[in-house]
């Protein structure tokens, strides 16, 4: 019996990346805005999921998104991951631009949907909800006055480079074609993202994903937009460093036969 399975088209892969990033931002940022402190101002036994719940929300969205759409597109859902995989030789550079555009669109659609949900919520009106969300930065990333814990620019830079680099290294390790376990890779990746958020939400609200940062900053106001460059540049720096380092340390390619022969002469 012949195998009629065909590889996904480029368009299908881009749609999968957009849907996966939409799910990531909708789940993570949506939890931060709607559920983290619910009910607002409550005393005694609030129902809000808090810092821990937001961390798990981001991890769970990546986990289920990777299982659902990973077989289609690879399940990047993050421009930094796409570039890190390209640096490691696991992804074609020529395909990175399309993936990144799809991821940014997916994230922006997610925060737009969050706004639409909020506009029909309880309270004194749609404008009041949006103003309240923007007062909190719309779950955007930030440093200084926009950091949940008051951490400065240097802390945000170090955290984004370090944690994005670790994230990329974990992904490259668990998805290795011979050493990794494909069925369990999404679980490891989701738990890693949860851990990253547990570490860094107090520092800068955790980016490690420029598409997530852009999506939130669109509605976050002037402050988050003015600091957005940090959460685009430094996750990418961390991802590229990790990708090249992984390639040099763990997946070194042997020299072509002609070069090996020349060395032995």
Over the stretch 151-172, which tens digit does the pLDDT of each residue have? Answer: 999 999 999 999 999 999 999 9
Confidence of residue 137 (pLDDT cuts 50, 70, 90): confident
Answering whether pTM is above 0.85, one says: yes
pLDDT of 256 > 80? The answer is no
Query: Does the CA dihedral 178-183-185-186 come out positive or negative?
Result: positive
d(CA 40, CA 52) in angstroms, rounded, equals 17
The pLDDT, as a whole number, for residue 7 is 87
Token pair recorded at residue 58: 């981001």
| Domains along the chain with CATH numbers | 76-249 (1.20.1080.10)
Q: What is the mean pLDDT of residues 31-41?
A: 77
Q: Which residue has the tokens 């881009």?
A: 14
The pLDDT, as a whole number, for residue 260 is 44
Classify burial at 254, counting beta carbons within 10 Å of its beta carbon; exposed 0-12, middle 13-18, buried 19 or more.
Answer: exposed
Confidence of residue 264 (pLDDT cuts 50, 70, 90): very low
Residue positions counted in the chain: 265
The pLDDT, as a whole number, for residue 123 is 62
């Amino acid at each position: 019996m012949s195998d009629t399975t065909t590889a996904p088209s480029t368009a299908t892969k881009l749609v999968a990346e957009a849907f996966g990033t939409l799910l990531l931002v909708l789940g993570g940022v949506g939890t931060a805005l709607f559920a983290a402190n619910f009910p607002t101002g409550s005393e005694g036994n609030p129902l809000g999921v808090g810092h821990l719940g937001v961390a798990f929300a981001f991890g769970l969205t990546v986990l289920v998104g990777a299982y659902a759409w990973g077989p289609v597109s690879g399940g990047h859902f993050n421009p930094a991951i796409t570039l890190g995989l390209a640096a490691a030789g696991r992804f074609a550079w020529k395909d990175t631009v399309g993936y990144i555009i799809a991821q940014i669109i997916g994230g922006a659609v997610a925060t737009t949907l969050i706004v639409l949900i909020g506009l029909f919520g309880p309270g004194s009106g749609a404008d009041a909800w949006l103003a309240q969300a923007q007062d909190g930065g719309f779950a955007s990333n930030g440093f200084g006055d926009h950091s949940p814990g008051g951490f400065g620019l240097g802390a945000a830079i170090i955290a984004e480079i370090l944690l994005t680099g670790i994230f990329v290294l974990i992904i490259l390790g668990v998805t290795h074609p011979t050493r990794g376990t494909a069925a369990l890779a999404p679980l490891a990746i989701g738990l890693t993202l949860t851990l990253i958020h547990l570490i860094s939400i107090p520092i800068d609200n955790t980016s490690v994903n420029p598409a997530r940062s852009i999506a939130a900053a669109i509605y976050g106001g002037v402050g988050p937009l003015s600091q957005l460059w940090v959460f685009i540049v430094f996750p990418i720096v961390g991802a590229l460093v990790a990708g090249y380092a992984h390639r040099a340390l763990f997946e070194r390619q042997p020299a072509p036969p002609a070069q090996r022969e020349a060395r032995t002469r």
